[in-house]
Amino acid sequence: MSSLWPRIEPLLEKVSKPARYIGEEMGAYQPRHGAGRVAWLLAYPDTYEIGLPNQGLQILYEILNEREDALAERTYAPWVDMEAAMRAEGVPLFSLETHRPAGDFDVLAFNIAAELTVTNVLNMVDLAQVPIRSDQRGPQHPLVMAGGHCAYNPEPMAPFVDALVMGDGEEVVGEITEVIGGWAVAGCRSREDLLKMLAKVPGVYVPSLYEARYEGGRLAGVRPMEPGVPEVVAKRTVADLAEWPYPKRQLVPLTEVVHDRLNVEVFRGCTRGCRFCQAGMITRPVRERPARQVEEMVASGLARTGYDEVALTSLSSADFSGIEGVVERVVRGVGEDDVAHAGPSQSVQRPSGGPVSVSLPSLRVDAFTVGLAAQVQRAKRTGLTFAPEGGTWRMRRVINKLITEEDLYAAVDAAFSGGWRRVKLYFLVGLPTETDEDVLGIADLARGCAEIGRRYHRNVTVTVSVGGFVPKPHTPFQWFAQDTVAEQRRKVNLLRDALRGVRGVALRWHDPEASVAEGIVSRGDRRVADVIEHVWSHGGTFQEWSEHFDLRLWTEAMAAAGLSLEECVHSELGEGDVLPWDHISAGLHRDFLWQDWQDALEARAVTDCRWTPCYDCGACTGAGIEHVVASPVPPAGGSQGTGQDLTEALVAALLAQARPAVGTAEVPMVGTVPVPVSETVPVPVPVALGAPTPGGSCVGTRPAKLIRGPV
């Protein structure tokens, strides 16, 4: 046994939060290493508290450990104090289960869910005593792999990662295991042979087999260098969530972590079509888990873990078919007939233990949603969060987040009258076509909400949280020029001035400098790799953390790499421009995205294709799958959370401004009845090395850690 524990234990008394490094969580495996088993070390490049709850990592952890030919352990980024202690003592990165050196594993697989964690990936590889660049690794080193939402533009990490996985990971991890296992048995074949074999697995991208060409200082294309390597790597999509009821044994940590509760994924994918939201675009189509399975997973999960809170996770949980019934049965306790009400205003009690609360991350903005929240949050009515994202109706049509002012005010009214006293509103600034009027619209909405609140309570708080928009690959906004730091600051200052002295409104904002660094990684090409290495080698780890983030490191690194922010981040791109991720497919047709971008510029909205005709985005047809939605009709609250049913009138209004059809889609007829979606054809699942983080989604694009303020 090669446990490093005797060398790790003496370090623990010197560092903060030593429980981060001991493992021992309930649900953890104690895998047996040995011949015939491919050893995976699943790594999350941020702290234990952030990484442990990640559902994607936990799903793959279980799937791999259930296999006869694989095993998986976990590791997280050691905090700076632990890293210093480890480096001082020569202790390499280690796994939590058996405290084995990371370098002893066959695969070191990272979930990259946030752009600024990329420097931590390099740091962890280096701590593992593995060369950070793929071309310096030899047969004695583990394969370094990555997945997660940031893998959809793999180019900035191309020289560091041996292989990246696009899309849902449930199936592909098994296929990769078989390839590695077969290669290991064959013995004498080279690492290059293994990489070529992996490149043949659908969804796997091996950057070293592709060449990036530049013309006149601009990217001209990323092409395979030899036959048999796919020109376009398409994401993996699991057709039926019902076949993957994971995690079955969610890890229960010994110490406090974020999202410290049971998490049950109710569906994957989202077709609301918010144009800024990468998660909604790349995880299509919508695949619901059968309600019955959700209830079973909740009941068994609560009994097993002892949690008193469960989150029903997805990108917009109020859209789950029959959500009201599911929530009601969950709160009541599945299979428990006799319900004991403790009192009129108290939570429902379970026979054993206290009240169970349900949390629904990523809720729509409408009164229905608040009703749902009231149903599940009988106990703690502390705060409710809504994400209108845009300050004016025009702006919200541009981003296709179709919430009217009335929807928002109705939701806020319902919240304040229902006993809540704090409301949080998320907005983006730096959106396409944005004017100062749109920015100031945010202040108007905030004022309006506070006024509604004072009808019910003497003191209310409306917190306005503003993030700077970062255009993401595989979205209609991928061609858009991101605002500069100065412009984002100017807009935030406009808001500060407008909200100065306004009672009951607090303004917080995401650091515009961090948004720029995110922009570099989000849409950079292969040359950005040098930038990332420079930032890392100059001490730039934990860049997601405001106390460690330093834009100067990034701008210096850009200069050192001969790149300009202006060109990389702040320039608008044209239809003919080569994008660094053109050789990666998230299932979406490029012409669909371009058309949606043109529609955005004209403030033309589109409806949700779950319940209305197809726009042929490509997600279903390309993968030969379709939406799995249990109910053929939209949930109460209607399309896009407008608070209106998807009646003919609304459909007509939206279609009257509809764009021309793309590809082969027919032009939707005015007054079309929502097309029922088959209940019987179930469809697909999570992510390669990274399903949605609970609480992820559009709201989750801004780490709370970086939010500053109040004014």
| Residue of 36, 217, 354, 383 that binds another protein (CB under 8 A) | 354
Element (H, E) at 531: helix 528-537
Question: Binding mask 495-534 vs another protein (x if CB under 8 A, - otherwise)?
Answer: ----------------------------------------
Amino acid 391 reads: G
Closest approach of another protein to the CB of residue 549, in Å = 24
Structural Rg of the chain based on CA atoms: 25
Residues in the chain, how many? 711
Closest approach of another protein to the CB of residue 659, in Å = 49
| Residue of 36, 217, 325, 353 that binds another protein (CB under 8 A) | 353
Tokens linked to 148: 């997660």
CA nearest 222: which of 473, 423, 507, 430?
A: 473
| Cis peptide, bond prior to residue 710, ω within 30 of zero | yes
Taking the least distance from each CB to another protein, the nearer of 262 and 402 is 262
CA pair distance 513, 510, nearest whole angstrom:
9
26 counts as binding another protein under rule CB under 8 A: yes
Closest approach of another protein to the CB of residue 21, in Å = 13
CA nearest 171: which of 203, 208, 139, 129?
A: 203
Question: Binding mask 312-351 vs another protein (x if CB under 8 A, - otherwise)?
Answer: ----------------------------------xx---x
| Residue of 234, 379, 481, 661 that binds another protein (CB under 8 A) | 379
Count of residues that interact with another protein, criterion CB under 8 A:
24
| Residue of 116, 130, 252, 584 that binds another protein (CB under 8 A) | 252
Question: Binding mask 260-299 vs another protein (x if CB under 8 A, - otherwise)?
Answer: ----------------------------------------
Secondary structure of the chain: what % helix, strand, coil (to 5)? 40, 15, 50
381 counts as binding another protein under rule CB under 8 A: yes
Closest approach of another protein to the CB of residue 26, in Å = 7
Contact segment (CB under 8 A) with another protein among 48-56, 106-114, 378-386, 472-480 equals: 378-386
148 CB contacts (<8 Å, ≥6 apart)? 56, 110, 111, 112, 113, 687, 688, 689, 690
**Inter-CA distances, 485 with 219, 278, 430, 571, 573, Å:** 25, 22, 10, 14, 19
Contact segment (CB under 8 A) with another protein among 24-32, 49-57, 58-66, 467-475 equals: 24-32
Strands of 45-171, DSSP E = 70-76, 107-111, 143-147, 163-165
Amino acid 579 reads: L
Taking the least distance from each CB to another protein, the nearer of 190 and 459 is 459
**C-alpha 177 chain-centroid distance:** 25
Taking the least distance from each CB to another protein, the nearer of 30 and 435 is 30
Closest approach of another protein to the CB of residue 91, in Å = 18
Taking the least distance from each CB to another protein, the nearer of 18 and 710 is 18
Name the DSSP letter for residue 35: T
Contact segment (CB under 8 A) with another protein among 216-224, 303-311, 650-658, 683-691 equals: 303-311
303 counts as binding another protein under rule CB under 8 A: yes
306 counts as binding another protein under rule CB under 8 A: yes
**DSSP per residue, 244-285:** ----SS--B-SS--TT-SEEEE-EE---S--TT-HHHHHT-S
| Helix locations, 309-435, DSSP H | 323-332, 367-376, 393-398, 405-417
352 counts as binding another protein under rule CB under 8 A: yes
Give the number of C-alpha atoms closer than 13 A to the C-alpha of residue 142, restricted to the C-beta side: 26
Closest approach of another protein to the CB of residue 371, in Å = 20
**Contacts with another protein, residue ranges (CB under 8 A):** 12-13, 18, 24-26, 252, 254, 303-308, 346-347, 351-355, 379-381
